[in-house]
Amino acid sequence: CRDELVKAPNIDQLASHSLLFQNAFAQQAVCAPSRVSFLTGRRPDTTRLYDFNSYWRVHAGNFSTIPQYFKENGYVTMSVGKVFHP
């Protein structure tokens, strides 16, 4: 975004009206453990999930997730795309 090497006026315009994160960090090098960490509020060393193939509730235990918490407190929750896997 806003780079002189790449001409991307539409992305630059979107970025000018957005919050732009210059430093972003992930809890784990692969996506599934990072998502589980984000959605449970627990670190990957607590969830014991480090790969793509392990089902997180088997390895981590039956932790409540943010969507579950919202649902239990009267909110309607939905998801589209990759949220948890496998």
Q: Which tokens belong to 64?
A: 């409540």
Burial 23-57 (b: 16+ CB within 10 A, else e): eeeeebeeebbbbbbebbebebeebebeeeebebe
Q: Which residues are catalytic, by number?
A: 31, 85
